[in-house]
Amino acid sequence: MPESAAGKHARKPAPALVSMARHTGYGLQLVVSVGLFMAAGWWVDGKLGTVPLLTILGALGGGAAGFYSLYLHLVKYRDSEGPRV
């Protein structure tokens, strides 16, 4: 069966770029989890009038959730992905 013109000249990305993209995604996931938890704490603080308390707890909770996710991706499940670069 003949290959299409696009499939014929397609190259696999360099392993370093794949690794950089994966780790950039992990970093963004950490930043977004901290930001969302902190924003939720800030919003609840505004409703309850406990201004700094829940914002700080939200940031700490988001950091804990983000680091746990990093742990799962980088340490616990690293063998299931195949060879590391």
Q: Does residue 10 lie within any of the structural domains? A: no
Is the pTM here over 0.75, yes or no? no
Sequence-distant (6+) residues with CB within 8 A of 41 are 54, 55, 56, 57, 58, 59, 61
> Has residue 75 got a pLDDT over 90?
no
- Evaluate whether residue 17 is within a structural domain: no
- Within-domain flag for 41: yes
Model pLDDT, residue 34: 96
Angle at 27 between CA 22 and CA 30, to 5 degrees: 130
Question: What are the Cα distances from residue 20, in Å, to 23, 31, 41, 46, 50?
Answer: 5, 16, 32, 39, 41
Model pLDDT, residue 47: 94
Decide if 60 is inside a domain: yes
User: Which domain range does residue 54 map to?
Assistant: 34-79
Asked if the structure places residue 61 within a domain, the reply is yes
What's the structural domain count of the chain? 1
Q: What is the mean pLDDT of the chain?
A: 85
- Angle at which helix 51-71 crosses helix 15-48, to 10 degrees, equals 160
Higher confidence at residue 10 or residue 73? 73
Does 18 score more than 80 pLDDT? yes
Assess if residue 7 is contained within a domain: no
Residue 82 has pLDDT above 60, yes or no: no
Torsion over CA: 74, 80, 81, 84 (sign): positive
